[in-house]
Amino acid sequence: MTTHLDHIVIAAPDLNELVSRFTELTGITPVEGGRHNTGSANALVPLSQPAGSYIELIGPDPEAEKLTEDNFALASTTATEPRVAAWCVRPDDLDGFAADKQVEEMSRQTPQGTTLKWRLIKPTPGVDYAPEPFAIDWQNSDHPSTVEEPLARVVKLTVQGAQLPGDLAEETAAVVEAREGEPYLELVLDTPMGEVNLKDI
């Protein structure tokens, strides 16, 4: 089984402010993604490397009554600043990757009115940084990395406080680095504004 980088999650308590800050730092305007059925909304930034990956900017949906789940600590009083919160991998066999973990069905509405559906092993809830990757199977849905031409690539994703899956695809393993320490994630991108470390977001 081969496991690919699917996306990297940057979470914040205000999605509009996060999108504006990301645009200012990178020179890239994220694409509106849509609304989740858990009370959050997102914006998307396709990446050229690793191929088929993207950044997900996520925050509470201002049109929803409340967050029904807090997987990215969006409602946490300790998570008041934007941060690289989690990362997601795409294994060839999600059920084989899952082992004893639960796989759930999820969906979101796109601005165009279509519904994307996927199967997911969810990230650790209630933490500000989730260095252990969660996993996804997009089934027959269009992949978010195809929403527009990518203008950025991953230089390095540093994962602190967790072991990496042993079956990472070559192009994913080339940019993901594990390190010991308290749970933390650090992302460096090559962008139209040059190399940008997203810890500065």
Cα 83 to chain centroid, rounded: 11
Mean pLDDT of 97-113: 86
How far apart, in Å, are the Cα atoms of 77 and each of 5, 41, 81? 29, 19, 10
User: What is the per-residue pLDDT for 39?
Assistant: 87
The one-character DSSP state at 167 is T
Strands across the sheet containing 184-191: 176-179, 153-160, 184-191, 194-197
User: What is the per-residue pLDDT for 103?
Assistant: 92
CATH code of the domain covering residue 124: 3.10.180.10
**HSE (side-chain half, CA atoms, 13 Å) at 195:** 7
d(CA 11, CA 14): 9
pLDDT band at 91 (very low <50, low <70, confident <90, very high): very high
pLDDT in tens, 8-24: 999 999 999 999 999 99
Q: What counts of helices (H) and strands (E) characterise the chain?
A: 3, 12
Q: Which helix (H) or strand (E) holds 96?
A: helix 94-98
Q: 76 pLDDT exceeds 80? A: no
pLDDT in tens, 123-161: 888 889 999 999 999 998 999 999 999 999 999 999 999
Mean pLDDT of 104-125: 88
pLDDT band at 174 (very low <50, low <70, confident <90, very high): very high
- Residue 144 amino acid letter: P
User: What is the per-residue pLDDT for 162?
Assistant: 94
Lowest-pLDDT range, 104-118, 157-171, 182-196? 104-118
Q: 78 pLDDT exceeds 80? A: no
Residue 69 lies in domain:
3-200
d(CA 11, CA 187): 13
DSSP per residue, 5-71? EEEEEEE-S-HHHHHHHHHHHHS--PEEEEEETTSEEEEEEEESSSTTEEEEEEEE-TTSS--S--T
Q: What's the structural domain count of the chain? A: 1
Q: Please, is 106 exposed, middle or buried when counting C-beta atoms within 10 Å of its C-beta (0-12, 13-18, 19+)?
A: middle
Tokens standing for 96? 């084989």
pLDDT band at 75 (very low <50, low <70, confident <90, very high): confident
- Residue 96 amino acid letter: G
